[in-house]
Amino acid sequence: MPKKPTGPIFVTYCSKNKRRDAGLLPALARYDSARIRQVHAAAVSLGIGFRVLSGRFGLLDPADKVPYYDHLLKWEEIGRLLPKVVKRLAREDVAAIVYFTRPLRKASAPLAYHALMEAACAAQGIRMVAIEIERP
């Protein structure tokens, strides 16, 4: 069972690039993304929680096991995932979210993920700060 956050957590969305290994892999190993690795390393160095926002599975702990999949979150799917993300935030008693994203541009892929995270935080009364980071 993932460690329960006691304060703010860092969150970033999943990535298109994934390891294609059969079976289940921890989320941190499944997603092949420098952004995810950097945000995770920053969270670890500060001693705070880290989660990945998946367009298929919702909010994942880095140790949560996930299969290979190829899915980009669509706007019309936000309502399906929202209750799942809200429930996890409530269960983990998250105090605040620092959300890391690529720069948000109109029609950019990260927009739906950003909207999902904002809606989940609003539903729980959690403050969210978004930080736009460039690709390395």
Region 1-23: mean pLDDT is 83
State residue 105's pLDDT score.
75
- pTM here is 0.91
Residue-wise pLDDT tens digits, 50-74: 999 999 999 999 999 999 999 999 9
In CATH terms, 8-132 corresponds, of 3.30.70, 3.30.310, 1.10.10, 3.40.50, to 3.40.50
Amino acid 3: pLDDT = 47
Mean pLDDT of 37-49: 96
* Predicted pLDDT of residue 51: 98
User: What average pLDDT score do residues 92-105 get?
Assistant: 91
- In this prediction, residues 29-36 reach a mean pLDDT of 95
The three-state DSSP-derived secondary structure of the chain is CCCCCCCEEEEEECCCCECCCCCCEEHHHHECCHHHHHHHHHHHHHCCEEEEEECCCEEECCCCEECCCCCCCCHHHHHHHHHHHHHHHHHCCCCEEEEEECCCCCCCCHHHHHHHHHHHHHHHCCEEEEEECCCC
